[in-house]
């Protein structure tokens, strides 16, 4: 994933750029667009892509790490930390469990997708 393309930094904003990076990463994790174990760009690479000073991105990463959102694994890099979005993790586990139960009932994948699509759309009474 190109993190820089998903982070909108407004250089004219009253909010400091490091805070914009920090909040942007949190938002992407919350929306499931950054997943547990996903590797983040290096500080220097992200700073260059966002036209920010490396210290600005480093400060964002430090605060994200202190908040338990990311973890640095030495030379291996910086990653989204397990448990950083427990609600999304729980939802993913519940979804996997429900799909497995439907498959065990003999429901095919196309029907499962149709049922979920209808449920998300608010139609509680699928055709068929």
List pLDDT tens digits, range 83-96. Answer: 766 666 667 677 87
- State residue 125's pLDDT score: 56
- Per-residue tokens: 103: 């498959």
- Stronger pLDDT, 119 or 19, i.e. the higher one: 19
Is 121 a residue whose pLDDT tops 90? no
CA 72, CA 82: separation in Å to the nearest integer?
12
Mean pLDDT of 8-34: 91
**3-80 belongs to CATH 1.10.10.10:** yes
Integer distance in angstroms from the first to the last C-alpha of the chain? Answer: 39
Instruction: For 49, list phi and psi in degrees, rounded to 5.
Output: -65, -35
- State residue 16's pLDDT score: 94
pTM, to two decimals:
0.65
Asked if 33 and 3 count as a contact pair (C-beta separation under 8 A), the reply is no
Confidence of residue 1 (pLDDT cuts 50, 70, 90): low
For residue 56, what are the contacts with CB-CB under 8 A and spacing of at least 6? 17, 18, 21, 47
Structural domain boundaries of the chain? 3-80, 86-121
Nearest to 24 by CA among 34, 11, 14: 34
């Amino acid at each position: 994933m190109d993190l820089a393309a998903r982070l909108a930094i407004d250089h004219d904003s009253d909010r400091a750029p490091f805070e914009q990076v920090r909040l942007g990463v949190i938002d992407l994790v919350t929306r499931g667009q950054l997943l547990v174990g996903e590797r983040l760009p290096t500080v220097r690479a992200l700073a260059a892509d966002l036209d920010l000073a490396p210290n600005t991105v480093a400060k964002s990463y430090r605060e994200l790490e202190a908040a338990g959102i990311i973890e640095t694994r030495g030379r291996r890099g910086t990653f989204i930390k397990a448990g950083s979005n427990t609600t999304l993790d729980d939802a993913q586990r519940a979804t996997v469990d429900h799909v497995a139960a439907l498959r065990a009932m003999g429901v095919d994948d196309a029907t499962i997708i149709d049922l979920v699509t209808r449920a998300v759309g608010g139609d509680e009474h699928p055709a068929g």
